[in-house]
């Protein structure tokens, strides 16, 4: 009798799991939000940890190209805005690590993965910001692309991630505007300033299109993430929205997009663009972009230099809990 019960257990557990998985999918289909303490399939948890941690790392590494220009901003007003923007990116990283913690992924473990080069972050941050116009182009295009991708994430099925995104998106819209305003000022400035803006656009345009990820046919996670309502639009659909929104902005600035194949398709109402260099994207993901090594080294150095801050915070917390106990 006892042996029989033991033999039956795995089958019973499998039926229970299948029931739970079915109820879970029904909740997702009904647009219910999944919260940290709710039952979820292990693969759903892992997918979210993967995406949220990659997103958090992108925010943290994303501070580097722009942070590099804080001391060289051309006026006090520009410096204050850039400083605020870079601090916002750091805050976004922190909200996102906190969201990953609700899924039992510890911040230390995620940080180790990043510093050991085992974690992904957005390909875009492996390109250098070589002139002041790059700060305009990053705000306008990189943050513009980020907003396009992140607005739908405000409706992601996982509550803590969706709520973090609402605040992130509000801040990103300030970032996008500060970038566009820099571009507008340069485009209304001297011939050399306008040329600098054009050069920045030429270098950032294609990497920004790559930010949305591989084409739909090659996107290995899209189908499952769409079923789970983590993703609401495909990579190509968001890329297209971004192109459609950005072409008129470039025209307004009097700049030319570096794509001779770009054309308006009156039948679909969309701008069609030329072929993206997916080999370059693969190289950047493989660690061979222009700045991959520098970025990881800078992150490691920041971690080591911050050791005394972590030690001081831990000592203060220990003192406080001793006082409370006393
Ligand atoms: N870069 O099956 P797919 C910001 C990877 S920060 C690197 O389509 P998925 C900002 C992908 O991870 C903006 N890797 O994947 C901060 C996967 O690899 P793994 C960051 C990429 O997850 C500071 C593989 O390729 N935003 O705005 O369905 C200053 C196959 O792809 C990239 C987010 O992180 C890439 N571009 O879709 C300024 C948003 N693209 O994991 C601005 C959240 C793809 O199997 N993330 N890969 O090793 C997402 O929405 C999705 O994860 C993606 C990819 C659309 C990026």
Tell the burial category of 315 from Cβ atoms under 10 Å away from its Cβ (0-12, 13-18, 19+): exposed
Choose one of 54, 238, 240 to mutate for the ligand 1 pocket test, by most ligand atoms within 8 angstroms of C-beta. 54
CB 205 within 8 A of CB 135: no
Distance (Å, rounded) from C-alpha 212 to C-alpha 249? 19
3-state secondary structure of 153: helix
Tell the burial category of 97 from Cβ atoms under 10 Å away from its Cβ (0-12, 13-18, 19+): buried
Q: What is the pLDDT of residue 10?
A: 65
Q: How many CA atoms lie within 13 A of 118 on its CB side?
A: 7
Distance (Å, rounded) from C-alpha 155 to C-alpha 163? 9
Question: What atom of ligand 1 comes closest to residue 211's alpha carbon?
Answer: 36
Nearest alpha-carbon partner for 157 in 298, 41, 318: 41
Q: pLDDT, tens digit, for every residue of 26-79?
A: 999 999 999 999 999 999 999 999 999 999 999 999 999 999 999 999 999 999
Q: pLDDT, tens digit, for every residue of 248-281?
A: 999 999 999 999 999 999 999 999 999 999 999 9
Sorting pLDDT into bands at 50, 70 and 90, what band is 7?
A: low
Say yes or no: CB of residue 53 within 6 Å of ligand 1.
Answer: no
Quote the tokens at residue 277: 């260099």
Distance (Å, rounded) from C-alpha 244 to C-alpha 264? 9
Q: pTM for this one?
A: 0.93
pLDDT of 87 higher than 70: yes
Q: What is the pLDDT of residue 15?
A: 74
Distance (Å, rounded) from C-alpha 76 to C-alpha 80? 6
Q: pLDDT, tens digit, for every residue of 131-169?
A: 999 999 999 999 999 999 999 999 999 999 999 999 999
To the nearest whole number, what is the mean pLDDT of the chain? 95
Q: What is the pLDDT of residue 2?
A: 40
Quote the tokens at residue 74: 């051309």
Say yes or no: CB of residue 164 within 6 Å of ligand 1.
Answer: no
What mean pLDDT do residues 311-315 have? 97
Say yes or no: CB of residue 147 within 6 Å of ligand 1.
Answer: no
User: 73 C-alpha to center of ligand 1: Å?
Assistant: 29
Say yes or no: CB of residue 234 within 6 Å of ligand 1.
Answer: no
Q: Supply φ then ψ for residue 102, to 5 degrees.
A: -70, -10
Sorting pLDDT into bands at 50, 70 and 90, what band is 3?
A: very low
Q: How far apart are the first and last CA of the chain?
A: 56
Nearest alpha-carbon partner for 154 in 230, 224, 88: 230
Any bridge partners for residue 263, and if so which?
272
* Percent of the residues in the chain that have a pLDDT greater than 70, as a whole number: 96
What's the length of the chain?
326
Q: What is the pLDDT of residue 1?
A: 39
Distance (Å, rounded) from C-alpha 132 to C-alpha 70? 10
Angle at 24 between CA 20 and CA 25, to 5 degrees: 120
């Amino acid at each position: 009798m006892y042996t029989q019960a033991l033999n039956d257990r795995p089958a019973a557990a499998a039926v229970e799991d299948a029931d739970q998985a079915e109820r879970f999918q029904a909740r997702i289909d009904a647009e219910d939000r999944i919260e940290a303490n709710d039952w979820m399939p292990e693969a759903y948890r892992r997918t979210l940890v993967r995406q949220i941690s990659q997103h958090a790392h992108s925010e943290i590494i994303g501070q580097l190209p722009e942070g590099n220009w804080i001391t060289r901003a051309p006026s006090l007003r520009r410096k204050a805005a850039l400083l605020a923007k870079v601090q916002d990116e750091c805050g976004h990283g922190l909200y996102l690590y906190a969201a990953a913690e609700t899924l039992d992924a510890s911040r230390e473990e995620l940080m180790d993965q990043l510093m050991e080069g085992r974690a992904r972050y957005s390909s875009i941050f492996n390109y250098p910001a070589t002139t002041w116009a790059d700060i305009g182009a990053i705000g306008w295009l990189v943050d513009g692309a980020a907003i396009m991708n992140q607005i739908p994430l405000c409706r992601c099925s996982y509550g803590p991630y969706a709520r973090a995104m609402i605040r992130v998106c509000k801040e990103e819209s300030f970032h996008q505007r500060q970038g566009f305003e820099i571009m507008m000022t340069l485009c209304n400035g001297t011939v050399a300033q306008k040329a600098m803006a054009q050069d920045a656009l030429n270098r950032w345009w294609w990497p920004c299109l790559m930010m949305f990820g591989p084409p739909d046919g090659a996107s290995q996670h899209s189908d499952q993430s769409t079923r789970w309502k983590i993703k609401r639009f495909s990579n190509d659909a968001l890329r297209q929205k971004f192109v459609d929104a950005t072409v008129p902005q470039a025209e307004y600035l009097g700049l030319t997009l570096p794509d001779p194949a770009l054309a308006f398709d009156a039948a679909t109402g969309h701008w069609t663009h030329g072929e993206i260099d997916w080999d370059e994207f693969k190289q950047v993901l493989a660690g061979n972009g222009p700045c991959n090594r520098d970025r990881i080294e800078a992150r490691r150095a920041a971690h080591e230099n911050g050791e005394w801050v972590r030690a001081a915070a831990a000592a203060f917390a220990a003192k406080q809990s001793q006082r409370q106990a006393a």
